[in-house]
Structure 1
Amino acid sequence: MRMKRTVVVILIALLSISTIFAANVRIKDFAKFRGARDNQLFGVGLVVGLNGTGDSGTLNSTLLANMMKNFGISVNPNDLKTRNVALVMVVADIPPFYKSGMRLDVEIASINDAKSLRNGILVQTPLYGADGNVYAVAQGPVSVGGEEVKGTANLQKRFPVVGYIPGGAIVEREIPMSIVDANSITILLDRPDFTNAARTAVAINTKFGVNIAKAVDAASIKVNIPNVFADDVISFLALLEEIEVPLDTIAQVVINERTGTIVFGGDVKISDFVLSYGNFVVVISNGQIGDKQATIGNLVTALKSLGATPQDIIAIVQELYKAGALFAQLKIM
């Protein structure tokens, strides 16, 4: 079917199409070294200075009385009934190799029935690791953020019982870490993939001109430390991080029907078929769309040139997947 019409397609927030090709990516951007990992810290503390928006009940009064005993002050909990205090959970992530004196961001959340943590101050709170040891101490003014939204759609709604303290914790103890094991290190991929693991090993061996790397499985690559770097492992790790690898991507098509968005990554191919949809007839024969290769990208381009709307294209792609003509994973949002 020959359609003698010229269609100018202007896409303004109607259809976004992104094709992700294999690209050279630094190892530091898609992997990490085994042993170099974040750790989660947590603690229970008190936020004071609230203007009557704290917890009800006597739990806070008891905690405050116990805290004052540490300063040699004896107070009856019944004399400390106040809604200016809130019991909170304090959490933080400590990155690898953080040293004593460095600062962490912390988040806090009300545990009891406080109405708001706005303008409150977190009292010094020890933060524990999973092993029960204290690794940091948090304290400081609480930032709630957001706005009190009243009929305004452009402002971020405030959640007053959750807060944030930038740099609110000081590291007191370094978490011990070791990334070298038997004169070797292991690189862990953020997304396990056999192809990318093998390519990473090849890129490392090519860089150093000797076979020091081997893919152990889809997630890990073992790298032996050359003798020349035996006394300077950090320099060796820095060189590894900067090595670029031609990463492979999974053939995948993601559709957002609400926004009319199609995102496809990898080399997404389609098989031969004849498609009749409304006024459109598309024929793919011998792996070609006209004089181009039969890929999802070229198909979308052809459909756009015929005047297909985003909804038309989405419907066609879905039918191709159902018919088994689309060689990719399909995700619909």
Structure 2
Amino acid sequence: MMRMVRKAIVVMLFLVLISTISFSATVRIKDFAKFRGARDNQLFGIGLVVGLNGTGDSGTLSSSLLANMMKNFGIAVNPNDLKSRNAALVMVIADIPPFYKPGMRLDVVVASINDAKSLRNGVLLQTPLYGADGNIYAVAQGPISVGGEDAKGSASLQKRFTVVGYIPNGALVEREIPMNIVDGNTITILLDKPDFTTAARTATAINTTFKTNIAKAIDGASVRVTVPNAFADDVIAFLALLEEIEVPVDTPAQVVINERTGTVVFGRDVKIADFVLSYGNFVIVISNGQIGDKQATIGNLITALKSVGATPQDIIAIIQELHKAGVIYAQLRIM
């Protein structure tokens, strides 16, 4: 009874204190991290697609597999009698999220292994899907969709890629993958993007919310949390409270360039140092941290360049040169 009272008090304190953490621009823990042990797993299998209108494999392997399947139904067939291009050997893959139970469904991707021309309108026969431990966790079957469009007269349509397809809800989970989140009486939170500042802030936010030092940042990617005694018999409720705690996530300054599309993505306050750059008809001068009467940031620099007629390719080339010179205080990623 006392444990239930303590638990109720902790929950009430949580609801009051979660809004009092003094950081701004906060994000819930569930939106930038996960619990160790709660992870997706990859499944795979090799199957046979039938019902292809002469666009399947040209060899005899698929015919042999189909003949073996028919033996299971008591039908003896010579593989040579089944030789046609209406079947194809395929690889079937899927991701199974944590805590999926038998009877739940997964989306699957199907890809041709041999020389099939197209899997369009094909049907995947029952295919067991294996985990890395060799156990069967799901079974896939169903009609294949190849998506896309037959882009003949329009450049705006994506061309259909017909040797890879997918089956929405095409796999039935047969076995749950065991998950273990609690190790002793501790839980480990794993950041999606490791960062020492965010890890430390996460531990601080948890300790501030529960008014006790139950969390400690282990490194830039993980925070270890001790389960309070009040939640020893209801860890799920504790996890739900942890997920809702908001933390000021810190991200390093980045400039991302896509040279194919001429796109530049950057944080609005990415700083740049003083410099003088001559590029074609442009001469750029930044002095005392200012571009004209504005602060020297990537955003203001791009605005100034566009105002004098710089093309996206010009802007990208200039940013790359500035990064080489070490005057951009940010990471540069080129895609």
Same fold, judged at TM 0.5 (above): yes
- Residue aligning to 2:9: none
Q: 1:291 to 1:91 in 2, by over 3 A?
A: same
1:314, distance to aligned residue in structure 2 (A) = 4.0
Aligned-partner SS, 2:257: strand
Gaps of 5+ in 2: 1-23
- C-alpha distance in 2 between matches for 1:293 and 1:255: 22
Answer with 229-238 or 317-326: which moved more: 317-326
Query: Displacement, 1:125?
Result: 0.8
Q: Which among 79, 82, 88 is matched to residue 80 of structure 1?
A: 82
Alpha-carbon contact 2:268-2:297 (below 8 Å) kept: no
Shift in Å, 1:235: 1.1
Question: Which residue of structure 2 aligns with residue 153 of structure 1?
Answer: 155
The amino acid that maps onto 1:230 is A
Residue 156 to residue 135, structure 1, CA distance change in 2 (3 Å): same
Amino acid paired to 1:229: F
Query: C-alpha displacement at 1:256, in angstroms?
Result: 3.7
**Which residue, 276, 294, 297 being the options, matches 1:295?**
297
CA distance in 2: counterparts of 1:215 and 1:193, whole angstroms: 11
Q: Does 1:197 align with 2:223?
A: no
State the 1:309 CA deviation: 2.6
Partner of 2:49: 47
Q: Kindly tell me: are residues 283 and 83 of structure 1, through their superposed partners in 2, closer, same or farther at Cα, counting changes over 3 Å?
A: closer
Q: Residue 91 of structure 1 contacts residue 108 of structure 1 at CA under 8 Å; is this kept in 2? A: yes
Amino acid at match of 2:48: L
Distance 1:267 1:283, change over 3 A: closer
- Give the TM-score of the pair, scaled to structure 2: 0.85
Question: Which residue in 2 is equivalent to 1:249?
Answer: 251
Report the equivalent of 1:272: 274
1:239 corresponds to: 241
* In the alignment, structure 1 residue 186 sits paired with structure 2 residue 188: yes
In structure 2, relative to structure 1, the CA distance for the partners of 1:251 and 1:55 (3 Å cut) is: same
Greater displacement, 59-68 / 312-321: 312-321
- Report SS of the residue matched to 1:320: helix
Contact 2:286 2:296 in 1 (8 A): no
Q: Pick the structure with more helix per residue.
A: 2
Is 1:175 aligned with 2:177? yes
Which of 320-329 and 229-238 deviates more?
A: 320-329
Which stretch shows the higher mean deviation, 22-31 or 129-138?
A: 22-31
Query: What is the Cα deviation at residue 136 of structure 1?
Result: 0.5
Instruction: Report the more deviating stretch, 268-277 or 216-225.
Output: 268-277
Q: Which residue of 2 aligns with 1:27?
A: 29
SS in 1 for 2:26: strand
1:170–1:272: structure 2 CA closer, same or farther, 3 Å change rule? Answer: same
Counterpart residue number, 1:227: 229
| 1:78 aligned partner, one-letter code | N
Deviates more, 1:90-99 or 1:245-254: 245-254
Question: Relative to 1, partners in 2 of residues 1:123 and 1:260: Cα closer, same or farther, differing over 3 Å?
Answer: closer
Asked if 2 retains the 8 angstrom alpha-carbon contact of 1:54 and 1:85, the reply is: yes
Q: Secondary structure at the match of 1:101?
A: coil
Is the Cα contact below 8 Å between 2:145 and 2:165 reproduced in 1? yes
Report the AA paired with residue 39 of structure 2: R
The one-letter amino acid of 1:251's match is A
Mapped contact 1:229–1:236 kept (Cα < 8 A)? yes
Q: Is 1:309 the equivalent of 2:310?
A: yes
Aligned residue pairs total 310
Segment of structure 1 superposing worse, 318-327 or 127-136: 318-327
Whichever residue aligns with residue 231 of structure 1, its letter is D
Tell me the distance in 1 between the aligned counterparts of 2:82 and 2:275: 78
Residues 249 and 265, structure 1, Cα contact 8 Å, conserved in 2: no
Q: Show the counterpart of 1:129.
A: 131
In the alignment, the residues of structure 1 paired with residue 194 and residue 167 of structure 2 have an alpha-carbon distance, to the nearest angstrom, of 35
C-alpha distance in structure 2 between counterparts of 1:299 and 1:154, whole Å:
32
Q: Using a 3 Å threshold, how does the CA distance of structure 1 residues 36 and 316 change in structure 2: closer, same or farther? A: same
Q: Larger deviation: 219-228 or 76-85?
A: 76-85
SS in 1 for 2:264: strand
Mapping 1:197-216, distance limit 5 Å: 197-216=199-218
Q: Does the 8 A contact of 1:251 with 1:266 survive in 2?
A: no
Shift of 1:74: 1.8
The alpha-carbon deviation at position 259 of structure 1 amounts to: 4.3
For 2:295 and 2:308, locate their aligned partners in 1 and report how far apart those are by CA, in whole Å.
21
- CA distance in 2 between partners of 1:227 and 1:171 (Å): 35
Shift of 1:301: 4.4
State the 1:101 CA deviation: 0.2
**What amino acid is aligned across from residue 237 of structure 2 in structure 1?**
S
Structure 1 position 57, deviation (Å): 2.3
The residue type paired with residue 170 of structure 1 is L
Segment of structure 1 superposing worse, 259-268 or 93-102: 259-268
State the match for 1:102 in structure 2.
104
Identity %: 79
CA distance in 2 between partners of 1:258 and 1:41 (Å) = 34
Range that drifts further, 154-163 or 36-45: 154-163
- Contact kept in structure 1, 2:102 and 2:174, CA below 8 Å: yes
Unmatched segments (≥5 aa) in structure 1: 1-21
